[in-house]
Amino acid sequence: MHSLVERYIAVATRHLPEGSRTDAARDIRVMIDEMVEARIVAGEDPDVAATALLNELGDPSVLARTFEDQPRYLIGPRHYDQYISLMKVLLTWIPLTAFLALLAINVLTDDRSLVDSFVQGGLDAAWTGVVVASQIIFWVTLTFAIMEWAERSGTEPEPADQWSISDLPAELPQRQIGLGEAAWGIGMMVLTGAMLVIQHIRGIEAFVRNDSVRETLDGHVVPFLNPDIPTWIAVATFGLVLFTAVAEMVKFAVGSWTLPVTIAEIASAIGFVVLPALAISRWGLVNPEIHDIWANDTTKWLTGNRFEQIFLLAMIVISVLSIYEAVRGYFDYRRRSSETPIPGEDFVFIV
């Protein structure tokens, strides 16, 4: 009867879940029809009544939400504080570090006048800082939103009456994992991911401004890593980087070395040794063209397998250290909560 009302209802229910849309639309229609009718009975002009009512009801999507109990937030109170503090630290330090590092590289490796290279390099570095910041905002928000969603759609929380005093931890819960540690871990992953992409797309030219090297390159893109390494290794590496970054965020949100957190940490550490070791043993990690460049320079000692050996050794040392820390953290966590069983091992979804 009123195309206006039809349009209002359509807009109102547009974002409701499929299952309850028609149902909610019918109830909203009942309300509008009855209210309009009452206005007409009260002597209002039928043509004006609907318009006036809809004006009073206001924004249709706001009205629709009162008809359907949908959470109206992305990140709830449980993780809000961690989300905000992690975001603050990451957004302060990573873009700033990226900016300063890139500015330094740009200025030091540029042969133009100092002012020119400062201006050009500064703009370049600032833009990178902005890009890095937006990446951080996106990925951190996405991770927390998924955690929120996973907890919401997971099993119902234990009813309060099943809780007993013995569920209290033996000692006051202490954060084992601080913000600095999480920020460092995530920062490293952002940096690793960025380096992997940049070295592939722009080649080592993006990092080196040494004139003789640039002449050797002669404008063509020379990736640092061996292009013969198959795509699946690259995909796996990106997966590992993403997994580790997400695991760092979850680790910070949980705050303790629970079993899932410890397992994720160990898996990531092993991955960072296995993937490079695989690449080195089958295809060689470094682009053969880089070896040519090294051979012509004072960096001759890096040729052969020397670089790969040093790199792999470094990765093994780092991994062993982080596995050691994870295992120690886990036993420490077990010891602290040994009086009572570890409550539920929250964040089950990660395993």
Partner 1 sequence: MDTRDAVLATHQQEIRRGTVVVAVLALLRSPGYGYALLEALERSGIEVDANTLYPLLRRLEKQGLLTSDWDTEGGRPRKYLQTSPEGKQLLARLVDEWNRLNASLTSIVEGHEEDA
Which helix (H) or strand (E) segment holds residue 91: the answer is helix 77-109
**In this complex, which beta carbon is closest to partner 1, that of residue 34 or of residue 339?**
34
The candidate with the shortest Cα–Cα distance to 83, out of 140, 132, 45, 31, is 140
Total number of residues binding partner 1 (CB under 8 A)? 15
Q: What are the φ and ψ backbone dihedral angles of 273, each rounded to 5 degrees? A: -100, -45
Pick one of 9, 25, 63, 213: the residue that binds partner 1 (CB under 8 A): 63
Q: Which range, of 63-71, 92-100, 151-159, 200-208, touches partner 1 by CB under 8 A?
A: 63-71
Residue 45 CB, nearest approach to partner 1 (Å): 19
Q: Classify residue 285 by burial, with Cβ atoms within 10 Å: 0-12, 13-18, 19+.
A: buried
- Taking each helix axis from N to C end, the angle separating 3-13 and 18-41, rounded to the nearest 10 degrees, works out to 140
**In this complex, which beta carbon is closest to partner 1, that of residue 34 or of residue 292?**
34
Residue 31 CB, nearest approach to partner 1 (Å): 4
**In this complex, which beta carbon is closest to partner 1, that of residue 25 or of residue 186?**
25
Interface mask (CB under 8 A) for partner 1, residues 66-85, using x and -?
Answer: xx-x----------------
59: contact with partner 1 by CB under 8 A: no
104: contact with partner 1 by CB under 8 A: no
Q: Which range, of 62-70, 213-221, 235-243, 297-305, touches partner 1 by CB under 8 A?
A: 62-70
Looking only at residues 212 through 271 of this chain, which bind partner 1 when binding is defined by CB under 8 A? none
Instruction: Please give the Cα distance from 176 to 238 (Å, whole number).
Output: 28
Q: Which residues of 304-336 are buried (b: 16+ CB within 10 A; e: fewer)?
A: eeebbeeebeebeeebeebbeebeebbeebeeb
Token pair 């590289």 is found at 105
Looking only at residues 14 through 53 of this chain, which bind partner 1 when binding is defined by CB under 8 A? 24, 27-28, 30-31, 33-35, 37-38
- The DSSP-derived string for 181-207 is HHHHHHHHHHHHHHHHHHHHHT-GGGT
Pick one of 11, 40, 52, 57: the residue that binds partner 1 (CB under 8 A): 57
The candidate with the shortest Cα–Cα distance to 86, out of 177, 149, 195, 148, is 177
**In this complex, which beta carbon is closest to partner 1, that of residue 19 or of residue 219?**
19
**In this complex, which beta carbon is closest to partner 1, that of residue 53 or of residue 275?**
53
54: contact with partner 1 by CB under 8 A: no
Q: To the nearest 10°, the Cα dihedral for 44, 48, 49, 54?
A: -150
Which stretches of the chain bind partner 1, using CB under 8 A? 24, 27-28, 30-31, 33-35, 37-38, 57, 63, 66-67, 69
